């Protein structure tokens, strides 16, 4: 994701906004081909967290990450094994 320039940042965020829903799958550590849980997350919620991470970054280009505890608080379980 681009933090800057602003035009590139907007293009990066559009990759989230263009979706109706975002799905985050968590895989089992002991069997990485097996899904533990899938969360459904609203794009607007993901954008808020993405912007928070980009704003804290010191780099013009950054990776953003979303862990299971974040998804648990901000998403809805749509599948669980």
What are the backbone dihedrals phi and psi of residue 75, each rounded to the nearest 5 degrees, phi first?
-125, -175
pTM equals: 0.85
In this model, does residue 18 exceed pLDDT 90?
Answer: yes
The span from the CA of 75 to the CA of 81, in Å, is: 17
In this model, does residue 1 exceed pLDDT 90?
Answer: no
Q: Across residues 48-69, what is the average pLDDT?
A: 94
In this model, does residue 39 exceed pLDDT 90?
Answer: yes
């Amino acid at each position: 994701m681009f933090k800057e320039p602003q035009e590139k940042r907007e293009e990066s965020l559009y990759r989230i906004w263009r979706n109706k829903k975002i799905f985050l799958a968590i895989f089992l550590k002991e069997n990485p081909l097996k899904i533990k849980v899938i969360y459904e997350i609203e794009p607007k919620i993901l954008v808020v967290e993405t912007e928070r991470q980009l704003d804290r970054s010191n780099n013009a280009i950054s990776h953003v990450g979303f862990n299971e505890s974040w998804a648990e608080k901000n998403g809805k379980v749509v599948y669980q094994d």
